[in-house]
């Protein structure tokens, strides 16, 4: 029997990359999934893929930074599937610069997507978690629910050129630890996964050499990509000898969603191939 049968998950930023793999992994283990992306087509494509494989999924499109998104995201799960058991705060991007050149917009945009948006989603779920846990306790049941916040080694160790991203990912680790203490009585495990180098469209693009790879975020063209030589240097320092895949990243999230992790909470799991 699949370990997540009967569970309902919401996964932000799950139309592409790591988020897509997380949604597919959870669905493959039996969870119904609410898929989110900025754009309708990637989200709907993941929904179709899950349904075609015999799973259950719906889309909730839009930016996680919209003020009402958290409430809408949670309500989509409750209205579509009647429950909410797993929250994965995955949506995000990088907008790098050294601090003397970093604008207020760069700072606030990264803080909004990586800290404020997860805060709003979790706040929107609080009453449901509390009320459900109370009813289950009165019935003599102990049922655990899961929150997995996606962090980064940049939030653990810091990274030059990423003052905004490093600060935001450190903040999500702080939020994780605070909610682990607040929500323990509701049987909610709250953990972070801090990824090292995971090969996605944001890292696979080659920066420099006249390359102008960008992503569109709410009408802003954000440059992405990693210098090819820098990528080789980073991979050389990883004990397993390479960057991780999105599927491997999803596997780490899955570990914190299954019953075997019911006594793990308030932790930051570094997923870096042996590199801290």
* % of the chain exceeding 70 in pLDDT: 93
pLDDT at 210: 47
Determine which one of 93, 165, 254, 263 is catalytic.
165
d(CA 265, CA 177): 8
Which pLDDT band holds residue 222 (cuts at 50, 70, 90)?
A: confident
Which pLDDT band holds residue 226 (cuts at 50, 70, 90)?
A: low
Domain ranges, ordered by start, for the chain: 8-271
Kindly state the helix (H) or strand (E) to which residue 252 belongs, with its residue range: helix 246-255
Residue in 194, 161, 242 with CA at minimum distance from that of residue 92: 194
Q: What does the pLDDT look like over 170-189, one tens digit per residue? A: 999 999 999 999 999 999 99
d(CA 180, CA 256): 13
pLDDT at 201: 73
The answer, yes or no, to whether residue 239 has pLDDT greater than 70, is: yes
Which of 43-52, 120-129, 196-205 comes out lowest in average pLDDT?
A: 196-205
Q: What is the pTM of this model?
A: 0.93
The answer, yes or no, to whether residue 206 has pLDDT greater than 70, is: no
pLDDT at 233: 84
**CATH number 3.40.50.720 given to 8-271:** yes
User: How many residues comprise the chain?
Assistant: 276
165 catalytic? Reply is yes
């Amino acid at each position: 029997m699949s370990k997540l049968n009967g569970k309902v998950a919401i996964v932000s930023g799950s139309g592409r990359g790591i988020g897509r793999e997380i949604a597919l992994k959870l669905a493959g283990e039996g969870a119904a999934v609410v898929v989110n992306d900025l754009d309708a087509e990637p989200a709907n494509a993941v929904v179709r893929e899950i349904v075609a494989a015999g799973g259950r999924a719906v889309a909730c499109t839009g930016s996680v930074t919209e003020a009402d998104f958290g409430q809408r995201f949670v309500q989509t799960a409750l209205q579509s599937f009647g429950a909410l058991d797993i929250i994965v705060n995955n949506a995000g991007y990088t907008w790098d610069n050294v601090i003397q050149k970093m604008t207020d917009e760069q700072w606030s945009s990264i803080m909004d997507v990586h800290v404020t948006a997860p805060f709003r989603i979790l706040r929107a779920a609080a009453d449901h978690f509390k009320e459900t846990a109370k009813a289950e306790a009165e019935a003599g049941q102990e049922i655990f629910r899961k929150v997995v916040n996606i962090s980064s080694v940049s939030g653990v160790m810091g990274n030059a050129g990423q003052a905004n991203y490093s600060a935001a990912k450190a903040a999500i680790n702080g939020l994780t630890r605070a909610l682990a203490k607040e929500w323990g009585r509701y049987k909610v495990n709250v953990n972070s996964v801090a990824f090292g180098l995971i090969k996605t469209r944001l890292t696979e693009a080659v920066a420099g050499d006249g390359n102008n790879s960008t992503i569109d975020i709410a009408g802003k063209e954000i440059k992405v990509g990693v210098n090819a030589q820098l990528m080789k240097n980073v991979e050389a320092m990883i004990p397993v000898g390479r960057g991780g895949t999105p599927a491997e990243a999803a596997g780490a999230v899955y570990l914190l969603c299954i019953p075997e992790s019911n006594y793990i909470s308030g932790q930051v799991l570094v997923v870096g191939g042996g590199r801290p």
